[in-house]
Amino acid sequence: MSTPKRNIDWEAVEREYRAGQLSIREIARAHGVSESFIRKKAKEQGWERALAERVRTAVRERLARGDGAQGGAHPQRASDDEVVAAAASRGFGVVTSHRRDLEQLHGIKRVIADRLATYLNGGEPDGPCLGDRESVGDLLEKLARVNARLIPLERQAHNLDDDAPDAGRPTARVRFDLSRMSDEELEACRVLASAAERDREGK
């Protein structure tokens, strides 16, 4: 008995292909079809991946307005404007999520900077140590690593780099590569950042 042929939503595949936001491999995986089949279909149908810049522009416009809404989908073949609108909505959601993650990282940065300032002023910081042997040098190193990650990630999250290879792609994940900080150190930072935020809100 032969396996029933899976129905593929080629209209959705075409929209993703033309938007240029996802790689062909990612589109193939999402729709359960091979990359070669998509390439063949694109060649036969004359699909072009020429809307990526328009998508990035639309994402920036929606971020500036703070509005991720889009109009309803048309039942017929999607126009360029509809393809761009759909991809821009997805990009808007990803970038705003990245911005929320960056706010948390900023909280960690503030904790490290505050503890460093306390040491430099001859005091003893409150709360748990950020590591087994917390020192001025250790805190300076941690602060430098956080800053080194924040700058490019903020530029990406705020769409300031047009040439960033993954700019605007939903699959681009904001990774806080603080690999030299242990889980305990990061958790201590998060606890202290939350406490500091509560203190600020209470003032």
- pLDDT digits over 44-101, tens only? 888 877 676 776 666 666 665 555 554 444 444 456 666 666 666 666 666 666 677 7
User: Of 87, 103, 123, at which residue does a domain stop?
Assistant: 87
Within this chain, do residues 124 and 198 fall inside the same structural domain, yes or no?
yes
Q: Distance between terminal CA atoms of the chain?
A: 72
Within this chain, do residues 41 and 99 fall inside the same structural domain, yes or no?
no
What length does the chain have? 203
Within this chain, do residues 110 and 60 fall inside the same structural domain, yes or no?
no
User: Of 87, 107, 128, at which residue does a domain stop?
Assistant: 87
Residues 105-130: tens digit of each pLDDT? 788 888 888 888 888 888 887 776 76
**% the chain with pLDDT above 70:** 45
pLDDT for 148 equals: 77
Distance CA 156, CA 80 (A): 25
Could you give the residue ranges of the DSSP H alpha helices within the chain? Answer: 10-19, 24-31, 35-45, 52-65, 80-120, 136-157, 183-202
User: Of 55, 87, 119, at which residue does a domain stop?
Assistant: 87
Within this chain, do residues 98 and 194 fall inside the same structural domain, yes or no?
yes
Higher pLDDT pick, 50 / 7: 7
Q: In the chain, how many domains are there?
A: 2
In a domain, 1, yes or no: no
Within this chain, do residues 74 and 101 fall inside the same structural domain, yes or no?
no
55-59, 131-135, 138-142, 169-173: which has the minimum mean pLDDT? 169-173
Neighbours of 63 (CB within 10 A): 19
CB 169 within 8 A of CB 25: no
pLDDT for 17 equals: 82
Please say if the pLDDT value at position 187 is more than 80: no
The domain containing residue 40 runs over which residues?
10-87
Within this chain, do residues 79 and 169 fall inside the same structural domain, yes or no?
no
pLDDT for 155 equals: 64
Within this chain, do residues 26 and 116 fall inside the same structural domain, yes or no?
no
In a domain, 142, yes or no: yes
pLDDT for 118 equals: 85
In a domain, 101, yes or no: yes
pLDDT for 61 equals: 65
Within this chain, do residues 118 and 44 fall inside the same structural domain, yes or no?
no
Residue 188 contacts by C-beta under 8 Å, 6 or more apart in sequence? 127, 128, 129, 130
**% the chain with pLDDT above 90:** 3
Within this chain, do residues 56 and 123 fall inside the same structural domain, yes or no?
no
In a domain, 2, yes or no: no
Within this chain, do residues 173 and 123 fall inside the same structural domain, yes or no?
yes
Within this chain, do residues 108 and 186 fall inside the same structural domain, yes or no?
yes
pLDDT for 143 equals: 81
Distance CA 30, CA 27 (A): 5
Within this chain, do residues 108 and 75 fall inside the same structural domain, yes or no?
no
